[in-house]
Structure 1
Amino acid sequence: MEEYFQVGVISSTHGIAGEVKVFPTTDDVSRFKKLKEVILDTGKERMTLHITQVKFVKQMVVLKFREFSNINEVERFRGNSLLVTRDQAVKLKKDEYFIADMIGLQVVSDENEFLGKLSDVIQTGANDVYVIQNETGEELLIPAIKDCILKVDMEQGQMLVHLLPGLRD
């Protein structure tokens, strides 16, 4: 299971006092108000940053960190991810899972046919769509609805699905 979850990506600086604009990658943007710290992933290292101020500008989050006081210190972090640890992650409801934990699940049909592995989750407006990739690289798209997703067993690393007519076409 994943230890860290991405909550945003630094898109640009904001002003000259070391603030950054963050593109949120979390379902609940308001969670930034409650966060005290995040982990900056530079690709080479991870550093803990302490949030001192949170603002919302259009679809972006503007963050100020205790560690930085001017634009020159934060400019180099454009495009870098902001992470939280699993214990800082939002609490899940029954039958909800983190996408990062689901990637790689073995997918089997209710007719005991191995369909492949869950390789991606497409988030549409109505419901998610699971991308299942078989050994030859072919993809099958399955809507994440109760009629199709019969069981998710995270301990066994397996998902049981029912293929509605037309899904293979």
Structure 2
Amino acid sequence: MNYYEVGKIVNTHGIKGELKIISKTDFPEDRFKPGNILYIRDNGKINSYEIKSHRTHKQFEMITFKGLENINLVENLKGKTLEISEEQQESLSDGNYYHHQIIGLDVFSEDNNYIGVIKEIMSPGANDVWIVKRKGLSDLLLPAIKDVIKKIDLEQNKVIIELLDGLD
């Protein structure tokens, strides 16, 4: 079974087992809903945890897990990655993709010149920014907007872009 990252535990909060999460999902209100199951890897083993509570605080998602309502029970989770199973992923509408579908795709210009491979996606604000690793050059930061991203072809494992002035 495949698992996909939806967040990272960066710290505890208070004494009642609340965890401070940096979200890596576009749907935090759905993904961290009480009753949902999240998975955490620990020494090669995958453990499941049921969410008891969720709230947003500043730029963080704050959650507690059922049965772990004490700081001493969650201290060891700091730094761990929160994941969901493949079955928990919801279908997206046409033209929308999960980050794991985009990362690793080859990037080509409209005239079919190879540019590099997408290694990471940042979400700094209004739109995502795709980080493209180029051979012998610094990374290229591509805004994920219609003017730049012309075609995503998952079957061919590639993205066609228009390299606007100033992006290179």
TM-score by length of 1: 0.82
Aligned to 2:156: 156
Alignment gaps of 5+ in structure 2: none
Identity, in percent, stands at: 34
Matched, 1:89 2:89: yes
The answer to whether the Cα contact below 8 Å between 2:34 and 2:53 also exists between their aligned partners in 1 is: no
The Cα of 1:161 is off from its aligned counterpart by: 1.3
1:116 aligned residue: 116
1:145 aligns with 2:145: yes
* Structure 2 Cα separation of the partners of residues 101 and 14 of structure 1: 33
- The answer to whether the 8 A contact 1:117-1:132 is kept is yes
Q: CA, structure 1 residues 11+166, in 2 after alignment: closer, same or farther (shift >3 Å)?
A: closer
Provide the alpha-carbon RMSD of the alignment.
2.5
| 2:152–2:159 contact (8 Å) kept in structure 1 | yes
Decide which structure has the larger Cα Rg and report it: 1
Deviations for 1:77-108, whole angstroms, at most 9, x for unmatched residues?
A: 11111111122234422211112221111111
Deviation at 1:128, TM superposition (A): 2.1
Q: Report deviation, 1:35.
A: 4.9
Q: Secondary structure at the match of 1:155?
A: coil
- How far the C-alpha of 1:37 sits from its partner, in A, is 0.9
Q: For residue 134 of structure 1, what is the aligned residue in structure 2?
A: 134
| 1:20 aligns to 2:19 (yes or no) | yes
Cα 1:35/1:24, change in 2 over 3 Å: farther
- Residue-pair matches, total: 167
Q: Structure 2: how far apart are the matches of 1:50 and 1:81? A: 15
TM-score normalised per structure 2: 0.82
Instruction: Write the letter of the residue equivalent to 2:150.
Output: L
Contact kept, 8 Å, 2:54 with 2:64, in 1: the verdict is yes
